[in-house]
Chains A and B, each alone.
Chain A
């Protein structure tokens, strides 16, 4: 009984921190509709700034607090609102989510860049030298008591703000209908700004209060808030009192599990994963109101032509072949990732691009694929590859069941929780038995991965595996293109555009969602197996939630609906990052910030980079002489390199130069041609009279009339 009481008190002190952080999350979400994954990171930056002011530059604590909470935090909030989020107000959930994920990884990287992580920094607790308060057998420090008091003050303050002031009413109104608020003369931008300022301030308060207990570590501080997410979900992202209740539940759960969970090999991980499990369950159990009204327009999904898809697939294989012949063994492992990451990234296309389901656990699915292949395919048996795909697919289907009830941000959170559960519990388990079946994932460490054996031909060197992976990426891209052109692809897009309409028209939501989740998890599993083969041995850490974020970021930047996205993401993550970071420490810092910057650049180009690249290269595709010349020149380069006339990197540079030059030339030629044709063009009414009637004219006219 005494212990029950003690751990309860302990849980409450943890709960206070979650409550402060959670309420900031809820505030920004309700007002702006953005679930801020970077909320913890903002708190982290505040804690570092506070450290810099007090410990670094010796400012007195009250002054530093005022500077951070009243000047820096609001300024940061306004900056974020203006620069990052306003431009994407009209975009979809995935894009908005990506902005905050980009901010999260960008802020962590920036903090590690600015404040050397190897230098110890400590923040003193508040009232450090005052004696703790004894409550029966439990003890509470004044710092903890202060945290609780601040939490209660925050609760009361927010209540008064939201229900007792005009700006509060505006904020609540803009939750319900932004457009209507605008019509009544209020300014929704202003309530957004207020929400961001307050949200950032709350994050800063949380950060400064939590940092002395955690130590100043950029990623720890930023990522601790999974538990606070759970609290926010308890409040269904809307209700502050329920968020506080959620914080208490999570805090006490963590505390009681520490005190009472039996100790064996399997359960400690369960405790670590408990907040995530709870998040998952609460997402499932609690009713969710319709997410904020869609003020977004679903963007059309491009349909790849069969010819184009075949050409692309062929190009991927040739690229793989050329790369495999150019690179040395070590580089083959590093750059082999281009294709295995590509396959994993490809899995986002049907799931997030076509069906509109956001999943942040694709890399975890890849981890399952890699582990299954490592064990079942230990001697390279080819049948283990479909098995790996099937098991990853089955895991994907498992996530799809909760996904039936979830969408948008909730789904993103659910899949995040799933990834965390795998990271902290399942992947770290020693081998165990379920129903007589011995299940071993990573054996609590590293597993060796063998290359596949193709009808007696063992693929085990880097170049063979690179080509193998390239072929799978080509086949995968082709399959996705076929999917888009087929019935199932159209169904998925219908599902994305409106679930209600899709169901009304006789579509089966359950079946389609399960199918698309399983399909994409299967693809990710294949990618994971290929990645494992190239790495030869893998650990669970390579497939963690956070390791997967850059992949997701770059995939969204590439454009989720584009079939070419697999290759784009693969090249960006698996190819360009290693190339840049090879240039030294400074460049490594650059690459760690790069995905974030790319994510932030998304607003300019919501369709993604791949369609833009494709449209840039279309003139080249149409210009047969230039294209032919380019191919001949590239082949010549390749031969020259194979004959050791040129060195690998020089060849690479020259090839890049040639491709860019050909593209520029082709575009210029085409522009010149169109310019000429426009010059000689005649007014519309004379078409077919002063010049010949062209086939496309009819469409131009039809569009002109419809558009007018």
Chain B
């Protein structure tokens, strides 16, 4: 299953527009509030998270079982482009999680020490080499141009539990465990698109449009989107690109949508541009049935930028099985995340990628704790891979991580309003999620992820 992708289009010395296109994951969710034993943070033991017991806790560790693991400490790498994008969400998530975990006793008594690997867009390979030298595993982060680091990572056999992946070479590569599980060969939004085209807005199925940023990576996503839309019953009548450096006036695009009679629009680009486009659409009074704003727009900024135009037509985003922040009152795990942020990083915003980072961290900590004193990479990888009902303590729909490349079953849709996001009326059937997504396998050639074999290694080399 495949994670959310971030695609960076480096448009300028100081200018990167980060596009992202949602995320995916699968599984059946026993996730809802009713399944979750009442375990708000206050009542739970220090190392419990949501429904997870003893994620972190004290112990009496001995020995140096693997690189990056000492008797007192585990070094973990967290990738981020913060030096370029100035977006510190992965850093914040890592800080909150590790401080909470260490306060609860760490991983069987070993403290987690995270090393922020700031890849600054172009330095993924360098950071990966450094990570190879010092870290035990890579957890809870992601770089926009992450293809640069995969080969090094596979060569040094570093397990990777990312919060997001971006480029084809990395997405679904070996030794990588996607905590929200989205297989790279399957369309992530199959369930979401089916709902849009067949249930929510059936009249729009005959006229769907796709606009993507002109970065090489978003172009791939744009092509995949077209295939997925066609396979879920849509007819794509308009497909276009816009320059990553920005568009001075979106009116021609709006006019093109109007003259092609587009009724549903999938926008694979940055939400700032989408906000501008929607303002123009409103100005020329062309009302679409729906716009897929993608999960990158899921945050407070989008509504702020788009203003009234957001109300002009429905704006949706698929969170692919990650619990929506709006449901925090019903989902104890989310509430706990909010409390932890309040305690350890009161100024930081909890974003969608941050929630995914949390899921990754939880998967890491749970698996590492289970390994006990003899914490090796093999044990971490294999234990994490054994999770067949992973819900990150309630932060996400249930996924089966044992399969590395499986289709998403669950999705959950949020809708933007001028006051912020709210949960759309998508008829959830398992807790906060709906888990009847069809399986749509890509048949187009979009490249393939790197494998251990491609660097002359195999899984048996993992120690």
A contact residues vs B (CB 8 Å cutoff): 3, 6-7, 10-11, 13-14, 17-18, 105, 108-109, 112, 116-122, 124-125, 128, 132, 138-139, 141, 143-144, 210, 212-215, 217-224, 227, 254-255, 258-259, 263, 268-269, 271-272, 328-331, 333-334, 424, 428, 442, 444-446, 448, 535-537, 539-542, 544, 546-547, 549-550, 581, 585, 588, 592
Can you offer 19 A-B residue contacts whose CB atoms are under 8 A?
A7-B252, A17-B249, A112-B14, A117-B85, A122-B304, A128-B308, A139-B284, A210-B249, A213-B280, A218-B15, A222-B12, A224-B247, A255-B255, A259-B259, A269-B214, A330-B130, A445-B147, A541-B10, A546-B15
A125-B279, A213-B276, A220-B245 are known contacts. Are A13 and B11 too (CB-CB below 8 A)?
no
Q: Are A269 and B249 in contact (CB under 8 A)?
A: no
A10-B255, A141-B283, A259-B259 are known contacts. Are A334 and B9 too (CB-CB below 8 A)?
no
Q: Are A588 and B83 in contact (CB under 8 A)?
A: yes
- Shortest C-beta distance, A417 to chain B (Å), equals 14
Give A448 to B8 CA distance when docked, in angstroms: 18
Give A213 to B254 CA distance when docked, in angstroms: 12
Give A268 to B253 CA distance when docked, in angstroms: 12
Q: Are B129 and A219 in contact (CB under 8 A)?
A: no
Q: Does B145 contact A (CB under 8 A)?
A: yes
Picked from B12, B125, B253, the residue with its CB within 8 Å of the CB of A108 is B12
A218-B14, A542-B122, A544-B11 are known contacts. Are A445 and B245 too (CB-CB below 8 A)?
no
Interface centre among B12, B121, B250, B306 (most CB of A within 10 A): B12
Residues of chain A with a CB closer than 8 A to B83's CB: 581, 585, 588
Of the 9-residue stretches B20-28, B65-73, B216-224, which lies at the interface with chain A? B216-224
Q: Are A223 and B214 in contact (CB under 8 A)?
A: no
Picked from A7, A221, A537, the residue with its CB within 8 Å of the CB of B125 is A537
- Shortest C-beta distance, B284 to chain A (Å), equals 4
With A10-B255, A14-B251, A328-B133 given, name 8 new contacts (CB 8 A): A112-B14, A116-B86, A255-B252, A272-B242, A330-B127, A424-B243, A428-B215, A535-B148
Q: Are A268 and B255 in contact (CB under 8 A)?
A: no
Picked from B87, B167, B246, B304, the residue with its CB within 8 Å of the CB of A217 is B246
Interface centre among A214, A540, A550 (most CB of B within 10 A): A214
| Range, interface on chain B | 35 or more
Q: Are B219 and A428 in contact (CB under 8 A)?
A: yes
- Shortest C-beta distance, A181 to chain B (Å), equals 36
Q: Are A3 and B259 in contact (CB under 8 A)?
A: yes
Q: Does B42 contact A (CB under 8 A)?
A: no
Residues of chain B with a CB closer than 8 A to A105's CB: 13-14
Residue of B nearest to A535 (CB): B125
Give A338 to B181 CA distance when docked, in angstroms: 41
Picked from B121, B273, B275, the residue with its CB within 8 Å of the CB of A122 is B275
Residues of chain A with a CB closer than 8 A to B279's CB: 125, 212-213
Residues of chain A with a CB closer than 8 A to B169's CB: 446
A330-B129, A536-B148 are known contacts. Are A272 and B243 too (CB-CB below 8 A)?
yes
Residue of B nearest to A21 (CB): B248
Give A396 to B12 CA distance when docked, in angstroms: 23
Q: Are A213 and B129 in contact (CB under 8 A)?
A: no
Q: Are B251 and A13 in contact (CB under 8 A)?
A: yes
A105-B13, A105-B14, A547-B10 are known contacts. Are A215 and B305 too (CB-CB below 8 A)?
yes
Residue of A nearest to B243 (CB): A272
Interface string of B275-291 (1 = CB under 8 A from A): 11001100111000000
Q: Are B129 and A227 in contact (CB under 8 A)?
A: no
A215-B275, A217-B272, A269-B214 are known contacts. Are A112 and B251 too (CB-CB below 8 A)?
no
Interface centre among A14, A112, A217 (most CB of B within 10 A): A217
Residue of B nearest to A221 (CB): B246
Q: Are B219 and A546 in contact (CB under 8 A)?
A: no
Q: Are A223 and B245 in contact (CB under 8 A)?
A: yes
A10-B255, A255-B255, A541-B215 are known contacts. Are A272 and B241 too (CB-CB below 8 A)?
yes
Picked from B10, B249, B285, the residue with its CB within 8 Å of the CB of A132 is B285
Q: Are A544 and B10 in contact (CB under 8 A)?
A: yes
A213-B280, A540-B216 are known contacts. Are A329 and B129 too (CB-CB below 8 A)?
yes
Give A585 to B123 CA distance when docked, in angstroms: 16
A-B pairs under 8 A by CB, number: 219
Interface string of B144-177 (1 = CB under 8 A from A): 0101100100000000000000011100000000
Q: Does B447 contact A (CB under 8 A)?
A: yes
Q: Are B255 and A424 in contact (CB under 8 A)?
A: no
Q: Are A268 and B307 in contact (CB under 8 A)?
A: no
Q: Are B129 and A214 in contact (CB under 8 A)?
A: no
- Shortest C-beta distance, A276 to chain B (Å), equals 10
- Shortest C-beta distance, A573 to chain B (Å), equals 11
Q: Are A428 and B126 in contact (CB under 8 A)?
A: no
Residues of chain B with a CB closer than 8 A to A540's CB: 216
Give A545 to B248 CA distance when docked, in angstroms: 19
Interface centre among A258, A549, A550 (most CB of B within 10 A): A258
Picked from A214, A259, A448, A549, the residue with its CB within 8 Å of the CB of B256 is A259
Q: Does B342 contact A (CB under 8 A)?
A: no
- Shortest C-beta distance, B286 to chain A (Å), equals 8
A3-B259, A255-B255, A258-B256 are known contacts. Are A118 and B85 too (CB-CB below 8 A)?
yes
Give A268 to B13 CA distance when docked, in angstroms: 24
A132-B285, A539-B145 are known contacts. Are A210 and B248 too (CB-CB below 8 A)?
yes
Residues of chain A with a CB closer than 8 A to B427's CB: none
Picked from B217, B241, B246, B307, the residue with its CB within 8 Å of the CB of A269 is B241
Q: Does B300 contact A (CB under 8 A)?
A: yes
Q: Are B151 and A442 in contact (CB under 8 A)?
A: no
Q: Does B240 contact A (CB under 8 A)?
A: yes
Residue of A nearest to B447 (CB): A445
A122-B307, A269-B214, A536-B148 are known contacts. Are A547 and B247 too (CB-CB below 8 A)?
no
Q: Does B458 contact A (CB under 8 A)?
A: no
Residues of chain A with a CB closer than 8 A to B255's CB: 6-7, 10, 138, 255, 258-259
Give A128 to B127 CA distance when docked, in angstroms: 47
For the complex of A and B, the 8 pairs showing the least CB-CB separation, nearest first, are A219-B15, A220-B246, A120-B301, A541-B10, A258-B252, A330-B129, A219-B12, A139-B284
Residue of A nearest to B240 (CB): A268
Picked from B121, B242, B248, the residue with its CB within 8 Å of the CB of A14 is B248
Give A449 to B83 CA distance when docked, in angstroms: 25
Residue of B nearest to A206 (CB): B248
Residue of A nearest to B349 (CB): A118
Residues of chain B with a CB closer than 8 A to A18's CB: 248
Give A537 to B125 CA distance when docked, in angstroms: 9
Give A331 to B126 CA distance when docked, in angstroms: 7
Residues of chain A with a CB closer than 8 A to B126's CB: 330-331, 333-334
Give A442 to B369 CA distance when docked, in angstroms: 43
Q: Are A445 and B252 in contact (CB under 8 A)?
A: no
Give A424 to B214 CA distance when docked, in angstroms: 8
Residues of chain A with a CB closer than 8 A to B245's CB: 219-220, 223-224
Residues of chain A with a CB closer than 8 A to B147's CB: 445-446, 537
Q: Are B13 and A550 in contact (CB under 8 A)?
A: yes
Q: Does B387 contact A (CB under 8 A)?
A: no
Q: Does B383 contact A (CB under 8 A)?
A: no
Residues of chain B with a CB closer than 8 A to A585's CB: 83
Residue of A nearest to B285 (CB): A139
- Shortest C-beta distance, A290 to chain B (Å), equals 32
A144-B251, A269-B241 are known contacts. Are A139 and B283 too (CB-CB below 8 A)?
yes
Give A125 to B279 CA distance when docked, in angstroms: 9
Picked from A125, A220, A227, A255, the residue with its CB within 8 Å of the CB of B15 is A220
Q: Does B313 contact A (CB under 8 A)?
A: no
Per the 8 Å Cβ criterion, residues 86-135 of B in contact with A are 86-87, 120-123, 125-127, 129-130, 133
Give A442 to B147 CA distance when docked, in angstroms: 13
Residues of chain B with a CB closer than 8 A to A118's CB: 85-87
Residue of A nearest to B299 (CB): A120
Q: Are B219 and A444 in contact (CB under 8 A)?
A: yes
Picked from B11, B121, B122, the residue with its CB within 8 Å of the CB of A546 is B11
Q: Does B36 contact A (CB under 8 A)?
A: no
Q: Are A108 and B123 in contact (CB under 8 A)?
A: no
Q: Does B239 contact A (CB under 8 A)?
A: yes
